Amino acid sequence: MSTQTKTGTPNDPVDHRYTRDITVGKNGVPVAKAKTSGGGYRTYEIHQRMRPGETTAKMTPTRLISDEYLTNPYAPLEVLRENYPCYRDWIANAYWITQYNDVTSIFVDDANFETRSKAWFYGIEGFGRDLGGEIPVLTAQATRIDENASAIAERLVDEMVTAGQADLALDFAARFPMELLGCALDLPEADMPKFIEQYWHMQRGYNWEPRSEQAGKTAIEELSAYFQALVDVRRANPGDDMVSAIAELELDGGPATGADVVATLLEADHETLHGGFANMWFQLLTNPDQLQVIKDDRRFIKFAWFETLRHSTPVINAPRFARHEVERFGLMLPEGGTVNCSAAAANRDPRIYTDPDTFDVKRKDMCQREPRGMYRADGLPAGIAFGLGAPTKHPAVPEDRPRSIYAITRDVVVTASNILLDKMPNIRLQDGATPEMRSLRIGEMHTCWHLPISF
């Protein structure tokens, strides 16, 4: 395709000009070259006229970015789910999908709906390679976490016991995934505080808030330099950790760099473990009868975890983008259209779950394992939680792979909760504490950030 650039005005360097197959009109203005056939535009209407009965008057789009949505998204989402299953949000420029069957139908439909990476949201696509799917990397991660999770959990619980009182959300739920990550990467203890802060900045920065984005970009640069040095060291002296595994990979585009390590870390995240653990214990401590169930029979810890991912999933929403124009849910979704798939709404869909707002670890109408690629593995629906991976037509755990990250997450939660119950048999909410779940900002994790406990 021949491109032609128009000379820019003096303030505007020409190399940034919009280039396409264009000709220059008589006034020096580029005009699109007429095409003889086809063409990149449509010649028919897609937005149908609405009739008075079709208004979405029960919802105003500002409610979906309000403080109410940050603290209790379930009320506005119920309005959408029960009235407007495909709601056109003119402020967020998106369609909200809120019924369970609709949400899962989009997640499994990669042919029509695209997932965009965090690097895309950062505007740094191509910055590094996400190596999170490489078998040696997965093996290193699984092995190191399996070997060390109990010891780490014990150390963190002991710290809280020594202190005499604790904030379970900050001192444990937030710490635990970071310690596990540091262990999987085998980072020196002294580097951890700085690494954790940079990692957090990186994970918060792809969102819309410009200061966080700035901090995130800085963190990505610093982490890339840090890991470049580490990759070089580990390549010479490999260990059994993830960085060594990445350093030793044989890749088409040349050996792995620090940027590749960072890209791998960026596209994974800690949120399901952090937020899920905090939310699970928030639910258990505020529902003492449910806590009693797992105290009586520790087997139910696992089910409490699944029920948490359904009832109080930390990542409440995920965008997908229509790869092309597609007619779904009675509407024509335009190419590129953003579809907000609301896990929070879908997980409370009364069409799927009986009494969906109740936190019930003994729930019978839910699949008793992670979705891992199928939402109805046992003929029963599973809670939608994004950290548990995108569903796929492939088996979740191929033969040559270690256990999946879903299984690892579940196991460390069970392990940690067992240790917590062993060392704090009388664990309870601190007197007078009124914990709550909330998102810090629109688009971020919905979790309990402070959970003061006594024991």
Partner 1 sequence: MSSTNPNTESIARAIDPSLLAGEIAPGAQTDFPQMPVGQAVDMGHAPDGTPLLDPRIFNTMEFMRNPYPYYKIMRDHYPVFHDKLHNCYYVTRYEDITDCYFDDEGFNTIPKGSSSGVLGNTQLELSGVEHRRRRNLYGQHLVGQSLKNRVPAIERMAEDMISAWDGMSEEEGVETNGNVRRIQLGKAFANEFPIRVVCEVLGFPEEAQEDFYYWYNSMMSGLGGSATQKEGLEARQHLEDYVEGIVEERRVTPSYLYDADGKNLGKDIITKLCETKVDGDYLSTEEITSNIALVVGGGGETTRGAILNMWYLLLQHPDQFAAIVEDEEKWDLAFHETLRHSTPIGGQPRHNTFDLDLHGVHIPAGSLVNMVDFSANHDDRNFKDPETFDMFRDDLYSGKLLRSGYAKEGKCSHMAFGVGPHLCPGAWISHQEAVVGSKILLKHMKNPRIVTENMPKDIDGESLLPIGLISVRELWLEFDLS
Q: Closer CB to partner 1, residue 33 or residue 362?
A: 33
Number of residues that bind partner 1 (CB under 8 A): 98
Helices (H), 312-378: 343-346
Q: Considering only 8-16, 246-254, 377-385, 400-408, which stretch makes contact with partner 1 by CB under 8 A?
A: 8-16
Query: Per CB under 8 A, which of residues 144..183 are in contact with partner 1?
Result: 159-160, 163-167, 170-171, 174-175, 178-179
Query: Per CB under 8 A, which of residues 414..433 are in contact with partner 1?
Result: none
Query: Per CB under 8 A, which of residues 39..98 are in contact with partner 1?
Result: 39-52, 54-57, 60-62, 65-67, 69-70, 88-94
442: contact with partner 1 by CB under 8 A: yes
Q: Least Å distance between CB 146 and partner 1?
A: 22
197: contact with partner 1 by CB under 8 A: yes
127: contact with partner 1 by CB under 8 A: no
214: contact with partner 1 by CB under 8 A: yes
Buried b (16+ CB within 10 A) or exposed e, 18-40: eeeebeeeeeeebeeeeeeeeee
As a whole number of angstroms, the distance between CA 96 and CA 80 comes to 8
As a whole number of angstroms, the distance between CA 254 and CA 250 comes to 7
The DSSP string of 253-289 is: TSS--HHHHHHHHHHS-SHHHHHHHHHHHHHHHH-HH
Other Cβ atoms closer than 10 A to 193: 10
Residue with tokens 């369609």: 95
Q: Least Å distance between CB 352 and partner 1?
A: 28
Q: Considering only 119-127, 131-139, 298-306, 392-400, which stretch makes contact with partner 1 by CB under 8 A?
A: 119-127
As a whole number of angstroms, the distance between CA 444 and CA 386 comes to 13
As a whole number of angstroms, the distance between CA 207 and CA 213 comes to 7
269: contact with partner 1 by CB under 8 A: no
Residue pair 203/270 in contact (Cβ under 8 Å)? The answer is: yes
Query: Per CB under 8 A, which of residues 301..340 are in contact with partner 1?
Result: 321-322, 334-338
Q: Considering only 200-208, 250-258, 378-386, 417-425, which stretch makes contact with partner 1 by CB under 8 A?
A: 200-208
Interface residue with partner 1, options 115, 125, 133, 362 (CB under 8 A): 125
Interface residue with partner 1, options 192, 233, 380, 424 (CB under 8 A): 192
Buried b (16+ CB within 10 A) or exposed e, 210-219: eebbebbbeb
